[in-house]
Structure 1
Amino acid sequence: MSKFEDNPFGDPTIDNPFADPAVQQVARSTNNATQGLDDYNPFDGQPGANQPTAQQPPQPAIMQAVSPPTNTHLSGGRTQPQQQPQGPPNNNLTADLLRRQEELERKAEELARREAELRAGSAGRRNNWPPLPGFCPVQPCFYQDINVDIPLEFQRIVRHLYHLWMFHALILALNIVGAMCLMFAGEGFTVFGLAILYFVLLTPFSFVCWYRPIYKAFRSDSSFNFMVYFFIFLFQIIITVVQSVGFNGSGYCGLITSIAIFQTNIGVGIITILITIGFITSAVADVMLMAKVHRIYRSTGASLAKAQTEFTTEILRNPHVQTAASNAAAAAVNAQIAQANRY
């Protein structure tokens, strides 16, 4: 039995793995960590304490806000917020907003103009053209206010027509100066007298015959006034062309008269040629503005039938025509009654 009682691990010649110092050091660190876990009580208010404590009521869960991620620059060691990429500006959207803003402003101006027109009233308006001083015995004959009477989209063309009429009046006034120079150059008094006559007649007639109709046409969208303007303004263009040609003895300082006077007096010839340039400019402006007005007229849907209808309506609404018609009807009835009594 002695051989079974012998301890096989007692032989000092056999190495004991647990006797290694490294293994023993690891075992001691493991025991320390285990001891720390044994001392930890999860139900205790203070970790590591073994004394029993009162049970705490459960606390509601609170969600903490999470800050957005940040980019850290390794070179500077500072943290900067992440920047979102910005796309290119939408130019089409900006242009559309600007266009809508302009339309709203134009509509607001139109409403303000209409409101001012309603406040003033047609009956309460006082004539303001021609602008004469108060001491003058002749008072203004017409009321004119382009900003109030004319719609916003037609105010520019009406101003151009008004300026064209003023330019015609200016050239006729300068034609008087040129005719006076021709008279001193030996052309006689007839040319000077005709120039004065043209200025006195054509200036007010052009205002009444073609400017006022086109003013009223744009003010009330009247096809009848458009027709009157086209008919009269065609004669205005013909007269301006004749003025530009300037036949000898016609009273106009036109091209022919200027060429003829250059042979005898160069100074008077220069004056007349400048007036000729003014007449030619007037003729070109007449044609251009008439074409522009015709385009506007066609775009509004006006026609000759509409002009005839408006003419008939205006004639029937005219108080003088109504009075004449009623007098004629009364005379006809009285004649019938008298004839019936006779029999």
Structure 2
Amino acid sequence: MKKVLWIGPIVRPDDVYLYKAQSAAANIWQLGFINGLLKNNLQVIVASYIPFSVWPRGPFWVDSYTGKLDENVKIISTGYVNIMFFRELFIGISLFFKLILNKDCISEELNSVITYNPILRHRIIPFLLKNFWKKKIKWLSVLADGYVKGNSDKTIFLSHDYYTRFKGPKSFIDGGISESKFSFIKPNYQKKVLVYAGSQSKLTGIKDFIDLFLKINQKDFELHIFGYPSDPEINKICYISDKVKQFGFVTDEVLISACENAFAFVSPRSTNDFANTTFPSKLLYYLQFEKPIVSTKTKTLHPKFDHLLFYYDPLNEESLVNCLIKLSNTDLEIHALKVKDFKEQNSWQSLVENTVRNDIS
């Protein structure tokens, strides 16, 4: 059986809440891709670590991860000294030596390595493998955030805009919809609850959305925010306004319940140039629940999403008003059927199949 080496920070879904620096969206995306590899009859070895804020904000020493991902996935994790820059070398070199001492990695069946984001700690490993160990191994670089770095054999883009502009070897996978037990549940709230789940950084655009949301007169709607860290300015707004509620970082069970009972979701990604290099992968999580999604229209999005998203202009109040009016007049059950069809056509197995056929087999 062919083997693939995956390099990136991954933990069990139930463990995400334990590690504040672990991106829930990135974790879901990576596990989805790995599941797609498994369904295409590949064995996956994961080289990983637990991300933390650099010392002294985070611990000086970070232990290796001891959790299990899947019975068909072997995980090799490293601890590291959490000092700026030094940790990049420590993680990369430590994982390299752990890998070459592992019998599964020595196997001739291992012919491909996939990195999730080309940060230095990840790039070191394929560089060492290709130059000092397995010279014929192929390096596929998944670019979820930032810009192309390193001399990979091919870059896998999540941003449709960046993919179309890039001139080197490339492929495009923005992400599949994970198989799940979730399906459409008609909300029964008196208020039409919009749910946002994710970080509260400038890039995500949630603060800008709140500012716009509070300016418009749409009393039927309420915004519920989930995620970490909580933005102090957003916390202040929540004390003043009853239209916005902050729930912070919650367990999977609490978040799933909120999503199942939501009227719609919010994906207010910034529309600046840097944002166009990143894909708002929380869309893939939202789509599992088959509800409408209020979203900015960024270049990173593939046109295939257009019929599912309710677009608004983040600089225009009237645009958001019209968006929410359109949303209010939408038959949620008919919309759910559209999403269900989209999910069937965009499974991880089918999206990863082309990569397996062209770059791994």
Higher RCO (CA 8 Å, separation ≥ 6 residues): 2
Common fold by TM > 0.5: no
**TM-score (structure 1 length as normaliser):** 0.20
